Amino acid sequence: MIKVGIVGGTGYTGAELLRILSQHSQVEVRILTSRQEAGRRADALYPSLRGHTDLSYSVPDVAALKACDAVFFATPHGTAMQMAPDLVAAGVKVIDLSADFRLQDKAQFTRWYKLEHSAPDLLKESVYGLPEIHRARIRKARVIGNPGCHATATQLALLPLLAAGVIETDGIIADSKTGISGAGRELKLGSMYSETADMLKAYGVAGHRHQAEIDQELGAVAGGPVSVTFVPHLTPMIRGIHVTAYARLKDRAADLQALFEARYHDEPFVDVMPAGEHPETRSVRGANVCRIAVHKAPDGKTAVVLSVIDNLVKGASGQAVQCMNLMFGLEETLGLQAPPLMP
């Protein structure tokens, strides 16, 4: 059994990790940490976990975490990079759901997150945890920077087009809608029901942090700089991300449906829908899957890609478990095969 620790177990991504791992046949969660809730049972904070875990929260302790095989960080930015070096030196694999190990350029990290990176050597060897691009590297990694939710849906939408060279690398637009759980569990005015119900608004228009990893990863796929105008929007739903991506076609005759089906044919967690269909966020709720549909605009000049994920699963905790499976040589889909929740 893989002995696992979860640092930061009270937020939505930490709770989602515990939910998924409680059903994983090869994992035993040994440590669940929270300074604020130390001593409290997890199923008291999240009653949905009653009967699935008897763990209580404890104060983070690096010495105790060193006894784990893998440690997940579901913590604010800046926490994982402080603790990861000691854990990695002790042979522990680290999967970070914050942004500490997503960006290879530490100057970019400082620009977007207003923090100096305290573990630059570990940052250099970390692997961006999007299996659809980096599966081989993830298998050998000691440190994973789990992708952001908007970034996951956006990259999976554009990856086949850029890899095949059928679109222009500038003028790309990614319009992303997200559920409120993406803001986390902390009490904030902007996350209150009365502030978010019956409402749609854009945010981060002048620059959202996920822009940096979108540019980094899609630029690597395209073999040069890629210009994506990325704008997120908050919608009155709990879970889900819906990205609509627009890109100018170089080759108007390209069979986009065949291109996407070929690129994702062997991907267990990417579902390319039949031609002409439109994915819904509710069709991926609670599941580690990205559903994609690709269309051509009526003018025949523009590719339009629709990409939906659950922001807490394929956009966070499910993808982290997918990476863990790869790192330990397990079947990639282990513990992640439950179908979405409907309605």
pLDDT of residue 212: 97
Q: What pTM, to 2 d.p., does this model score?
A: 0.96
In the chain, pLDDT over 90 holds for what percent of residues? 94
CATH number at residue 42: 3.40.50.720
Answer yes or no: do 105 and 205 share one domain: no
Q: Show the domain range for 173.
A: 149-311
Of 109, 125, 141, which residue constitutes the final position of a domain?
125
CATH number at residue 165: 3.30.360.10
Mean pLDDT of 74-81: 96
Task: Output the DSSP codes for 222-260.
Answer: HTS---EEEEEEE-S-SS-EEEEEEEEBS-TT--HHHHH
Contacts of 240 (CB under 8 A, 6+ apart): 177, 178, 179, 281, 282, 284, 285, 308, 309, 310, 311
pLDDT of residue 149: 97
pLDDT(187) > 80: no
pLDDT of residue 302: 98
Handedness of CA 309, 313, 316, 319 (dihedral sign): negative
Look at the chain and report how many structural domains it folds into: 2
Task: Output the DSSP codes for 120-163.
Answer: HHHHHH-EE--HHHHHHHHHH-SEEEPPPHHHHHHHHHHHHHHH
> Does 326 reside within a domain?
no
- 202-259: per-residue pLDDT in tens? 999 999 999 999 999 999 999 999 999 999 999 999 999 999 999 999 989 999 999 9
> Does 92 reside within a domain?
yes
**Residue 117 backbone phi and psi in degrees, to 5:** -75, 125
Answer yes or no: do 60 and 155 share one domain: no
- 83-112: per-residue pLDDT in tens? 999 999 999 999 999 999 999 999 999 999
Is 149 annotated in the active site?
yes
- 17-59: per-residue pLDDT in tens? 999 999 999 999 999 999 999 999 999 999 999 999 999 999 9
Amino acid at 224: G
Among 68, 149, 290, 323, the active-site one is 149
> Does 343 reside within a domain?
no
In the chain, pLDDT over 70 holds for what percent of residues? 100
Mean pLDDT of 129-145: 98
CA distance 277 to 274: 6
Answer yes or no: do 79 and 155 share one domain: no
Handedness of CA 287, 271, 199, 318 (dihedral sign): positive
Mean pLDDT, the chain, whole residue set: 96
pLDDT of residue 193: 84
pLDDT(183) > 90: no
